[in-house]
Amino acid sequence: MRSTIRRGIPALAVAALSALALSACAAGSPQATSSTTSGDVIIAAADPSLLPYNFTGSDGSTWEGINVDLAAALSTKLGRTIQFQSAGFDTIIPGLTSGRFDMALTGMFDTKERQKSVDFVDYLKAENNFLTRSDYRDITDMNDLCGVTVGIPSGAIEGSLLATASEKCTSEGKAAITVNEYSDLNAVVLALTSKRIDVTPNDSAANAYIMKSASGLKVSGGYQNEGYFAAAFPKGSALTAEVETAFTEIMADGTYASILDKWGVPSRGLTAPIVNGSPF
């Protein structure tokens, strides 16, 4: 039996996260509408709810985050500006394959399944844990979620991990995992704080940032602490090699390490970028 999956109704973000407006595009720039790799601007898709990788500041329009700082550094090396365009996470890969976006620089795992549609330049080690309310029990791993109601953003890799874990639960005579999918991470956090879900599995840096903005939450356990976050590109795009080179340069000159230090994730850095390096 597969896990029970139903799509949650898109919800407003919790007040502490309300600055993360989905209408935002590039930092201080108007909304981009088409890919432009042949020109001076590179259109990068990103989900603006993915703290602390891509989000919008208190003005509701200026992009901030780890990926935003990396994009600025990469732009200097590329000699072209990487401009962010807001996109729901599950629309990003279709947008790349259709030519709507030149690349994606968001909280995306490189996976072998996704490599069938796009190419990746891996730039950050994965580290994940479980976010719960402070009064909820600790979670050890995915196999510790039998009978639990879990929330994730639509299209997240955790969907397949939870389905596998739920099948293991039912094969052992335990209750299935109920998985509710939401429009974005803001909606997931709201569902957690309003007790419509009990757990959300997520990136460790994102969870740490969320806990700074929303009280009464904690993290525990871990899962899928292998593999990489990666920039994504349409298959065959010349931009893949260009961005790989740009990442190599900012890793060599110390810019990359400084950005990771600023955002509190130095342990997740790589010494060199990797193309399509997913182990799973």
34 — phi, psi (to 5°)? -155, 160
pLDDT at position 35 is 54
Considering the domain boundaries, does residue 280 fall inside one?
no
pLDDT at position 20 is 34
Instruction: Say yes or no: 108 and 155 in one domain.
Output: no
Give the mean model confidence (pLDDT) for residues 267-272.
95
Express each pLDDT in 27-61 by its tens digit: 334 343 345 455 689 999 999 988 899 999 889 89
Answer whether 132's CB lies under 8 Å from 220's CB.
yes
pLDDT at position 38 is 52
CA end-to-end distance (rounded Å), the chain = 23
Express each pLDDT in 222-245 by its tens digit: 998 899 999 999 999 999 999 999
Q: How many domains does the chain have?
A: 2
Instruction: Say yes or no: 107 and 157 in one domain.
Output: no
pLDDT at position 32 is 38
Answer whether 171's CB lies under 8 Å from 177's CB.
no
Instruction: Say yes or no: 246 and 122 in one domain.
Output: yes
- pLDDT of 166 strictly over 70: yes
Residue whose structure tokens are 């901030």: 64
- Give the domain range for residue 181: 4-15+127-220
Instruction: Say yes or no: 37 and 173 in one domain.
Output: no
- pLDDT of 13 strictly over 60: no
Q: How confident is the model at residue 146 (pLDDT cuts 50, 70, 90)?
A: very high
pLDDT at position 49 is 86
Q: What is the mean pLDDT of the chain?
A: 88
Q: How far apart are CA 145 and CA 83, in angstroms?
A: 39
